[in-house]
Amino acid sequence: MYSVKIFNSIRDVPSEPWNALVAGHSSTYSHEFWEVLEDSGLNDFRYNHALIYDQNSVPVALASFYTITTDIAIFSTGWLKKALNAIRSIFPGFLKFKMIECGTPITMNKPIVVKAGCNEEEILAFLDTTLSDIAKKQRAFVVVIRDFEPRNAYLEPHIRNLNYHVVASLPNTFMDITWQTPDQYLSSLKSHYRRKILIHQKSNEDRGIRYELRDDFGELADSLCDQWLVVHESAKEFQRERLTPEFYREFSAKLGSKSKALLFYRDDELVGHVLLFVDGEILRWLYVGRKESVKDNLYFYMCHKIVETAILLRVKRLELGLTTYEPKLNLGAQTLPVNIAIKTARIPNIFTGYVYSLLNHTPEIRSRNIFKHSEGEKAS
């Protein structure tokens, strides 16, 4: 009933049917976005893109997927993480497998785009067959379909029927932007949280910290990547993709005004940055970098300026991403549960979900009520 064409690069994908399917959807499905990823040399990612056709050869769905060698226990903590590190000092590849993941590697999105009115359940089953066949050909050990936020949860029963195990990933964080000005946002906060922001702001300004928002930052790519590496190497919660200077250059060059870098200076010295992506009515916080790995209050100040930037850009939602939940919650972020679907491609699959859940700890993060009034009253 369905057929598929697999492309090894987004540049090989015919733009007319692809663009027709992604119209009205996230810009992370765009040719330009995928060109940035393909040209950046991240990890050992190998990208593929699928166009699915009905019996009349009409394009009805698309999906992107990639292979990567990654840690099956990527969210392990405590004694288990220490034990794994000890084992990997002798056997570096222990519990690191080649996987096929369907989705977007550096942000969250629905894993498949289906033309309105088409049978999503049937197309998902066809996609699974395609992914399983490719996994066998490429000798991938695991197939993962990501990311299922509540808006995509209706797909989970269909996924389970295809023998996937649906397991928890790290929660996402977001803020609905209902304020017209940064001052209005501050005024909506309970006094404790407002005072904390103002104290951090004054402290950083007294130390000579200033910031600017730029669309064109390619000439800073090497410095920005070095700063990202400082944060990456000190991260305790989650490490996977490894950025390159080419990623920053391509991100700035190919995405135009959708790419934003919030640059932080101490006097004239660049001491930190935040990489942002304007995705329609959503501002996505992708990465953060620091010149030095020090415990100070600059990070919280940076988080606050991201909120201000979202307000000034007039977006409707700010997506703040995974990890470092404490400062985000103290600025008013809400949490969203995220699930992934996983199954093994080369051994019996029955215990896959149990083993994954045993190896990985996903924290239960609760949102805080930091506002004077309810969500619906904040902008009134």
pLDDT digits (tens, 9 = 90+) for 168-193: 988 999 999 999 999 999 999 999 99
- Residue 380 within any structural domain of the chain: no
Residue 368 lies inside a defined structural domain of this protein: no
Residue 307 pLDDT > 60: yes
Please state the pTM of the whole predicted model.
0.91
Residue 346 lies in a domain: yes
Query: Is 144 found in the same domain as 290?
Result: no
Query: Do residues 328 and 223 share a domain?
Result: yes
Query: Would you give the distance in Å from CA 375 to the centre of its chain?
Result: 25
What's the structural domain count of the chain?
Answer: 2
Task: Give the bridge partners for 277, in sequence order.
Answer: 259, 284
Q: Are residues 324 and 341 in the same domain?
A: no
Instruction: Provide the sign of the torsion angle of the four alpha carbons 119, 66, 144, 283, taken in this order.
Output: negative
Q: Do 119 and 215 belong to one domain?
A: no
At residue 377, the pLDDT reads 43
Asked whether residue 239 falls in the same domain as residue 348, the answer is no
Domain-located, residue 54: yes
pLDDT digits (tens, 9 = 90+) for 35-46: 999 999 988 899
Amino acid 118: pLDDT? 95
What span, in angstroms and rounded, lies between the C-alpha atoms of 318 and 7? Answer: 32
| H runs (alpha helix) in 111-220 | 120-137, 156-161, 182-187, 191-206
**Residues 179, 73 share a domain:** no
Q: Residue 186 sits in which domain range?
A: 173-335
**Are 115 and 179 members of one domain?**
no
Angle between helices 191-206 and 298-312 (to 10 degrees): 110
Q: Is residue 378 part of a domain?
A: no
Are 69 and 93 found together in one domain? yes
pLDDT tens for 108-156 read 888 999 999 999 999 999 999 999 999 999 999 999 999 998 888 888 9
* 331, 343: one domain: no
Asked if residue 318 belongs to a domain, the reply is yes
Whether 372 maps to a domain, the answer reads no
- Is residue 145 located within the same domain as residue 229? no
Q: Within this chain, do residues 9 and 109 fall inside the same structural domain, yes or no?
A: yes
CATH number at residue 223: 3.40.630.30
Q: Are residues 102 and 237 in the same domain?
A: no
